[in-house]
Structure 1
Amino acid sequence: MKTKDSTAGERGWCVYILRCADNSLYTGITNNLEKRLAAHASGTASKYTRSRRPASLVATSGKLDKASALRLEMLIKKLPKARKIEALENSG
């Protein structure tokens, strides 16, 4: 996986869902999942997960181009909690 931002047509992005310590779900995108998870664990990735650590990975999408990953992230964020993981698992 590349460490720099991919161009719009490259498939190296994924959408991921974390379950936080308060049982809430956090949805995000990345082109380097390992690095992003480490940032969440250290409290430097997002304000939301910083105050809800530890967070565990519960689902990831297949590799997508950046635009598709952004669209899927927005779609998932609009879903009720019960449907978020189901939507991501069905995305490929």
Structure 2
Amino acid sequence: MNGELDIVHVSVIIAFAALSVSQVMAMIRLVIGPDTGDRILALDTMVVNAIGLIVLLGISQGTQIYFEAAMIIAMLGFVSTVALARFILRGDIIE
């Protein structure tokens, strides 16, 4: 049983590192992105990475409140990405 906990612990640490590197790369794309579409995709990628980090935090701490927070952030991230894309394409959000 102790060996399984070590494997889960190491897996969570590796996942934290991978998501952190991915988040930094998305931030770099956000800053140097030559086009507005690249910046929108970088923001959406950052939201997905943040959701992954929050879920991993919930797994590592063993509490369920982080999963609910991740669900709320996922809904807000989707709506904000759609609203930003509509604003860039049409100039307004609500028709």
Specify which structure has the bigger relative contact order, considering alpha-carbon pairs within 8 angstroms and separated by 6 or more residues: 1
TM-score by structure 1 length?
0.29
Higher strand share: 1
Higher helix share: 2
TM-score by structure 2 length?
0.28
Larger Rg, first or second structure (1 or 2): 2
